[in-house]
Structure 1
């Protein structure tokens, strides 16, 4: 049942009212006993909750916070030029390059993940003001998944701070940084659907390395990162 539903969501997405996730239809397609299905999932809401959880847990980016290629970009930036990483100025240049490359790539990669699309559909349904099947259960599920994701991202930012000689400013922690960046990326993802020019590269110089092609989200993430963190004094 879950395998059939996952394939359907990959092809069609998860509709706001879950209209394409009908238990009777899935039972026929999967060829499984009806009595067993309703013993496990008494209604469609219970099934959708397990389906969304399965979509997230099958997505490798959910465990790591980023897709594999984005993680490679980050690792390359951290392992870059040891001599440059030995100075505060060099670490800032490396940080900018890491954020410039990874955010631009991740903005595109995340849009193609089934888990992210399902998350956005369910979030949109909850915020629409309309009655959503199993609204309370859906909200609890999204809250749980988001909490797990933010925990992973906070760990990632903790590692980046250590690599780039940074610490969180007083009164803030890495989870606050994760929340702020996630909220910005979500908002930028929404806006790019209306205005595709959001994805057009902006050529600007944010440091002595000179002009570079930046995605608007990359500039925003860099602004958040440098506002929430400070250099550790030698």
Structure 2
């Protein structure tokens, strides 16, 4: 019964995002939607405040697990797979890398600011925690941290893979740890998402950036420009990079992805 009521509330939050005060969550409406006895529900939660505390813990767990934008990762792979012939030469490889950053980071930024889970995550992190009693606050913080840690670990693995196949490695002072790099990138994208609310003319404008495979003078979004600057501080070219071996590995990966897609269509 508890699960059904919380799921009904989560469905509403996922539809409209997290709002301060929870005026849109009427207990009797949720009880009716969940199809559970009213008297039993009020024995589980003796007040709306108690219910909201439990709901916030659920939201913290759910939203933290939905922060990753899988489509951004797919876009990055697709650009690489479509330009394998350019990855053997350092100059062309850099242009491909810049094209991935230019396209994927703008997409990621747009996806973030439109994401209800991210909006709920920000709401929990920046506003609602300060208004909760300490025990609920500690549980929510634990749930947020667990989800955020998993998200950053996943992003760090992706950035390690992406930089490695393009001939880069993390600088020695970071001791092989890509998590600070992933944290900074994530913070810039999310921070620009918040700054977009106050300065959309600056944040959403197009800027001149480095040449890519599509243009010598392409238009860049601000999050992508920021990533180029971050990359230069965290990464360096790998003197032992084997371009031919990496291209062959990518060819096999592309073939495997295509075979899996074909099998999925046939099924």
| TM-score interval for Structure 1 and Structure 2 normalised by the shorter chain | 0.7 to 0.9
The aligned counterpart of 1:8 is 12
- Verify: 1:230 aligned to 2:236, yes or no: yes
C-alpha distance in structure 1 between counterparts of 2:139 and 2:74, whole Å: 36
Q: Where do residues 1-234 of structure 1 align in structure 2 (5 Å cutoff)?
A: 1-21=5-25, 23-34=27-38, 35=40, 39=44, 43-57=51-65, 59=66, 62=67, 65-68=68-71, 70-125=72-127, 130-133=130-133, 134-172=136-174, 173-197=177-201, 198-205=203-210, 210-234=216-240
Whichever structure has more helix as a proportion of its residues is 2
Once the 2 structures are TM-superposed, how far is the Cα of residue 37 of structure 1 from its aligned partner? 7.8
C-alpha distance in structure 2 between counterparts of 1:85 and 1:21, whole Å: 53
How many residues are matched? 226
Once the 2 structures are TM-superposed, how far is the Cα of residue 17 of structure 1 from its aligned partner? 4.0
Give yes or no for contact 2:95–2:212 (8 Å, CA) kept in 1: yes
Normalising to structure 2: TM-score of the pair?
A: 0.75
* 1:233 aligned counterpart, secondary structure: coil
C-alpha distance in structure 2 between counterparts of 1:38 and 1:117, whole Å: 31
* 2:58 aligned counterpart, secondary structure: helix
C-alpha distance in structure 1 between counterparts of 2:41 and 2:131, whole Å: 29
* 1:86 aligned counterpart, secondary structure: coil
Give yes or no for contact 1:22–1:44 (8 Å, CA) kept in 2: no
Change (3 A) 1:13 1:166: same
C-alpha distance in structure 2 between counterparts of 1:47 and 1:161, whole Å: 39
* 2:236 aligned counterpart, secondary structure: strand
Give yes or no for contact 1:201–1:216 (8 Å, CA) kept in 2: yes
Larger Rg: 2
Change (3 A) 1:149 1:77: same
Stretch moving more, 15-24 or 89-98: 15-24
Stretch moving more, 29-38 or 183-192: 29-38
C-alpha distance in structure 1 between counterparts of 2:142 and 2:182, whole Å: 20
